[in-house]
Structures are given as C-alpha cells and as structure tokens.
Amino acid sequence: RLNLREQLIREVEIIPLEVVCRNIVAGSMSQRLGIEEGTPLPRSIIEFYYKKDELNDPMVTEEHITAFNWATTQELDDILAMTVRVNDYLSGMFGAVGITLIDFKIEFGRVWENDFARVILADEISPDSCRLWDTATGEKLDKDRFRRDLGNVIESYTEVAKRLGIMKDMPTVIQGGLH
C-alpha cells in the first residue's frame, strides 16, 4: 500500500481459474447438491471454475485444466498447496475475531523469472469474495448481504474491518467515499 488510494501491483499472466475453497456448505454447493446451508464439511473441499463470463464460469476438474493447458500439473499442485495455506491462515485470522470462514474464492497468476514461471496468489481477499459468518450469531457479514438483499451491507463490511483492526485510519473512505 502506497497511500490511502494507491497500492503497488505486480502484473501477472492470469491463470483462467477461480479456485473456491469451502469449509461449510453454502451458496452454489448447497443448491447443486441439495445440502442445507451451514452444514460443516468433513474436510475442506477445493473446486475449480473456468473463468469465462459467457459460460457463467462452469465448474471444471483437474483433467480439464491440464488437458486444455490452463495450468500444468505442477502448477496445480502449487495452487492446491497455496489454497490450503490461505484457508488455514484466514480461518485462524477470522476465527480469532469471532468470524467463521465459510468459503472463499481466489485466483492465481504466473510471474516469469528468466525462463522460469512461478505461480503466485493474484487476487484480493475481501468480504466480496469470502463468506464470513459471525461465529456466535450466524449473521452473514459478506457480499450475500447485498446479493440476498439483507441490508446493512456497509455496516457488516465495517464490522469485519473493525474486528480485524484495519479501519482505524480509514473510516471516511469506507463510509463516505473519498473527499
């Protein structure tokens, strides 16, 4: 972060996948498999979606990903390992402030160092791309408030930022836009 309005971004060659990691059933998994939202998964599940708006980002398997050269087997291994690490880190971080990480979506990109490509995380992590439920009450503190017309969108996002202690110097940005 350079200042309130700018951050330094590294350009990557984007891998055309949305990587979703789930700890508790919600959203499309609940609908597709007919499992009630809020059901804990026996273990975390990682899913891949092909980034193609015209097709509504269809779910794909590792077979598709390697067959169509969207990522190599080695890159997929790295993506899986990093996704598990991100899940562990975020679950702990949110858990410590009374928030349950239900699921999240991240993306990855390639950076080239001479002839060697390395895969790095290439996405924001925010309540726009995570499901975050208050652990005590089950209240939703994420984009579902907007998508499901539950109201209090700003209040919920603000609550997440406050609990994480990242709002002290930026309340006017979040609440009122930049002046």
Contact window for ligand UDP (CB under 6 A) among 9-17, 97-105, 109-117, 160-168: 97-105
Q: Which residue among 19, 20, 71, 90 contacts ligand UDP (CB under 6 A)? A: 20
Residues 99-138 touching ligand UDP, rule: CB under 6 A, are: 103-105, 129-131
Query: Which residues are within 8 A (CB) of 159 and not within 5 positions of it... i.e. 6 or more apart?
Result: 141
Residues in contact with ligand UDP, total (CB under 6 A)?
14
Query: Is the CB of residue 160 less than 8 Å from the CB of residue 130?
Result: no
Compute the least distance from the CB of residue 177 to ligand UDP, in Å.
23
Compute the least distance from the CB of residue 57 to ligand UDP, in Å.
6
Based on the shown chain and the rule CB under 6 A, indicate whether residue 28 belongs to the binding site for ligand UDP: yes
Q: Which token pair is 89?
A: 């880190």
**Site string (141-160) toward ligand UDP, x via CB under 6 A:** --x-----------------
**Interface residues toward ligand UDP, by CB under 6 A:** 18, 20, 26-29, 57, 103-105, 129-131, 143
